[in-house]
Amino acid sequence: MTIKSHVYVDTDSIITSLDKRIYGQFIEHLGRCVYGGIWVGENSAIPNLKGYRLDVLNAVKAIKPSIVRWPGGNFASQYHWIDGVGPRDKRPRKFDLAWGQVESNEFGTDEYIEWVRLIGAEPFIVVNAGNGSPEEAAAWVEYCNSTKDTYYANLRRRYGHSEPFSVKLWGIGNELWGRWQVGFCRDAEECGWRTVEFADHMKRVDPEIKLVAVGVDYDTEWNVDMIRIAGEYIDYLSIHTYIFTDRQGKTYEDLVAWPIQIEKNLRHVYYTIEQTRRKYGIKKEIKIAFDEWNVWYPEAQPPYLEQITSVKDAVFTGLVLNALQRLSRIVPIATFAQTVNVLPLILTKEDKMLLTPQYLVFKLYTEVEEGNVVATDVISPHYISKELEEVVPYIDASAIYAQNKVYLFIVNRHPEENAEVYIHIKNLKPSTIQHKYVAGSSINDKNVFEEPNKVGIEEKAYAFREPVTLPPHSVNLLIIS
């Protein structure tokens, strides 16, 4: 059997210009993400550039993340940035209260800034709003951004950086609603006023910075209180979503239905923000930073949280990225959790490196350099997700229009059947298609160190004809011109 569907693209109906920050990444001092993943040190036998692991550096650069969030995560709520600057051999080794490990502080602010510049990304720093202080956060902003003749700006200069780092995006705390968080808040009222105090101190140093405050994906009351109290001080509300796969009875069909719920929930959070702004007369525009998201398997246990994901997770990832393209007016920032070794896109093992099918999906989506997200409609057969009690179309699509080309991203959720897709594009007469896709031979195919290229990006080009045939369980990029 083959399923048949229609995809309609209206190039005149522009949702928003593409904000490439939705393809962002997140790295944390957790497990082997930083140490052994990103940083191996200059004396390592593993090929490196000034201590940065070279194969990982090049692999991350290849997926063009526009933004990278750091240093956490839970780690941020107990991290004192001053420990991670200055000569490396003089930095203190500290006990990490978040993850129970020893932190060498070998990789700190200066190393992070240089790494994001090497991969072509912008920095996104999360300050310690757990057991840290507003004064400490303001000093970090001064160290990174100030041009004045003051202590922390001069400290940066003394450590070899005469020009400021110009970090524009800062997060105030991480998941402060959770009791696993060092310095967690009792309620949103406390978190709101703590956020105001941090924001006030930080913006006195640099009024131009943009701030991300702590939200919750499922707690409307928390989000209302945060906007009510801190709305005039912040620019984004942070939302985190992990899909835990250890729930009894979760099937492939349920997993790939979850992006529908994620999209609905992000819209609901934004409506909550807007309603609260109107109710309390808050004039500042506030959007969403979806700055942790992924699937999470039972084998990903502390302290390393390592897992190797498969084609079914690539399908999930493509569906989330489609949703984020559609939502990018209201969710202009998203960072995948995480880039290396922790719930990863990229795994390392000694001197070897492995790219997951999820990584390959990011490679497809970040081919688009610029353009407008345009309206896309799909007519498709459906199925029912028992877990979500949701009607789910087998075909999902999102489109970017740029320079007389349509970048059409189509995901075929069907686990077994090809999809014949009839494509209708307003104001464009298609002549050629460049077709790239990630599929594998089954939903459980994965790349492992013994067989690192089992799943790859397949490519073909052909004259436009209808229908276009898409493999089962596939994430597809059709560049139509």
Same domain, 243 and 319: yes
CATH assignment at residue 224: 3.20.20.80
- Tens of pLDDT, residue by residue, the chain (481 residues): 799 999 999 999 999 999 999 999 999 999 999 999 999 999 999 999 999 999 999 999 999 999 999 999 999 999 999 999 999 999 999 999 999 999 999 999 999 999 999 999 999 999 999 999 999 999 999 999 999 999 999 999 999 999 999 999 999 999 999 999 999 999 999 999 999 999 999 999 999 999 999 999 999 999 999 999 999 999 999 999 999 997 666 899 999 999 999 999 999 999 999 999 999 999 999 999 999 999 999 999 999 999 999 999 999 999 999 999 999 999 999 999 999 999 999 999 999 999 999 999 999 999 998 999 999 999 999 999 999 999 999 999 999 999 889 999 999 999 999 999 999 999 888 899 999 999 999 999 999 999 999 999 999 999 988 899 999 999 999 999 9
Considering the entire predicted model, what is its pTM? 0.97
d(CA 117, CA 122): 7
Mind spelling out the 3-state secondary structure of 94-117?
EECCCCCCEECCCCCHHHHHHHHH
Kindly name the residue from 175, 253, 263, 306 that is annotated as catalytic.
175
Q: What is the domain range of residue 447? A: 2-10+373-480
Q: Which two tokens stand for residue 156?
A: 């940066």
With contact defined as beta carbons under 8 Å apart, do 185 and 213 qualify? no
d(CA 58, CA 361): 17
The reply to whether 175 belongs to the active site is: yes
Q: Which two tokens stand for residue 180?
A: 């696993």
The separation between the first and the last C-alpha atoms of the chain, rounded to the nearest angstrom, is 30
Kindly name the residue from 142, 263, 292, 306 that is annotated as catalytic.
292
Among residues 367, 391, 412, which one ends one of the domains? 367
DSSP 302: T
Q: How many structural domains is the chain composed of?
A: 2
Among residues 367, 400, 425, which one ends one of the domains? 367
Using alpha carbons, list the distances in angstroms from residue 250 to 389, 412, 444: 13, 19, 14
d(CA 284, CA 232): 6
Give the ranges where 231-306 is alpha helix by DSSP (H): 252-255, 258-280
Same domain, 409 and 325: no
Helix (H) or strand (E) holding 373: strand 372-379
The reply to whether 292 belongs to the active site is: yes
φ, ψ at 95 (rounded to 5°): -80, 125
CATH assignment at residue 447: 2.60.40.1180
